[in-house]
Amino acid sequence: MAIDNKTKKKSKTSQAIDFWHRATQALYWYYEKRLLNEVSKAKTLPNHIGIIMDGNRRFAKSIGLDVKAGHDYGAKKARAVLDWCVELGIQHVTIWGFSSENKGRAVEEVDHLHSIFTQQAKMLIDDKKLHQNKIKVRIIGDIDSFPAETKIALAKMEEATKDYDGMSLNVALGYGGREEIVAAVQSLLKEKVKTGMTAQEIAEQVCISEIEQHLYTAGIPDPDFVIRTSGEIRLSGFLLWQTAYSEFYFVDANWPDFRKLDFLRAIRNYQARERRFGK
């Protein structure tokens, strides 16, 4: 059977595209390995990384998918980024998966997010990497309004990892920075009142260290470095108290599109900074 000229052209075009794709992938792989080696050899790594995982819905809309699919892709990316942090030896990671304001989104979307949290918690319990690396998982935020099934799954995940002393992973769900500070102050005041102190005495004694002891992140060092995806240049309430002297890095990629190369570039950027802590 004779092959017409159009078919030949299509075949050549396909071959050229395939070659270009393979060449690009090879270059990407080489650059990623080189960057990983550079970052790993540097003396300074963040002790605590905070990550604002933003852009799931925009990612989904950009490729014509339902927003729920964007959250599915986002959950997979979170697992991948956790592996990258383990590979570098990061000691503490806090990821923000669901804010207090997100509770006001469409019921169908919120229900889907609750389902993802339930599934991810169950998957993490059975994740060999999590147990091999002794990753301690803690939920921070207000999850009282979450479905019973979700709260049970999250509690089981915390219980299964509570004695681990490897990386500590904080998962911020139903989290708001202002709400955290209010909750911390309320907890501190209730504690003081039980001792019989007067309002005046309490006011005179309240200090920074005491409030810190009542934050969700009590016992964990403040973030050295905070990464936010999707091109938004703001914290939106993420760890408002704890990020007083954190370094920030904003990347344009939506969360599901956040590559290991982007992550390593962010770490390299952090390593090139001089932290002065206001001095």
Whole-model pTM?
0.89
**135-186 pLDDT, tens per residue?**
999 999 999 999 999 999 999 999 999 999 999 999 999 999 999 999 999 9
DSSP one-letter code for 42: S
Cβ(173)–Cβ(98) under 8 Å?
Answer: yes
Neighbours of 248 (CB within 10 A): 16
Q: What is the pLDDT of residue 153?
A: 98
Q: What is the pLDDT of residue 1?
A: 47
In the chain, where are the structural domains located?
46-176+221-271
Higher pLDDT, 230 or 2: 230
**57-76 pLDDT, tens per residue?**
999 999 999 999 999 999 99
54 has catalytic annotation: yes
Give the contacts of 209 (CB within 8 A, at least 6 positions apart): none
The stretch 83-107 carries a mean pLDDT of: 96
Cβ(222)–Cβ(242) under 8 Å?
Answer: yes
Average pLDDT, the chain: 92
CA distance 129 to 106: 34
**107-144 pLDDT, tens per residue?**
999 999 999 999 999 999 999 999 999 999 999 999 99
Neighbours of 233 (CB within 10 A): 8
The backbone torsions φ and ψ at residue 64, rounded to the nearest 5 degrees and listed phi first, read 75, 25
Q: Which fold has domain 46-176+221-271?
A: Undecaprenyl pyrophosphate synthetase (3.40.1180)
Q: Active-site residue among 47, 102, 133, 269? A: 102
- What does the DSSP assignment read for 58-97? HHHHHTT--HHHHHHHHHHHHHHHHHHHHHHT-SEEEEEE
CA distance 77 to 259: 9
Percent of the chain whose predicted confidence (pLDDT) is above 90? 85
Q: What is the pLDDT of residue 26?
A: 72
DSSP one-letter code for 98: E
CA distance 250 to 240: 17
56 has catalytic annotation: no
Q: Active-site residue among 4, 18, 37, 54? A: 54
The single residue listed with the structure tokens 């016992």 is: 219
Give yes or no for residue 11 having a pLDDT over 90: no
**91-100 pLDDT, tens per residue?**
999 999 999 9
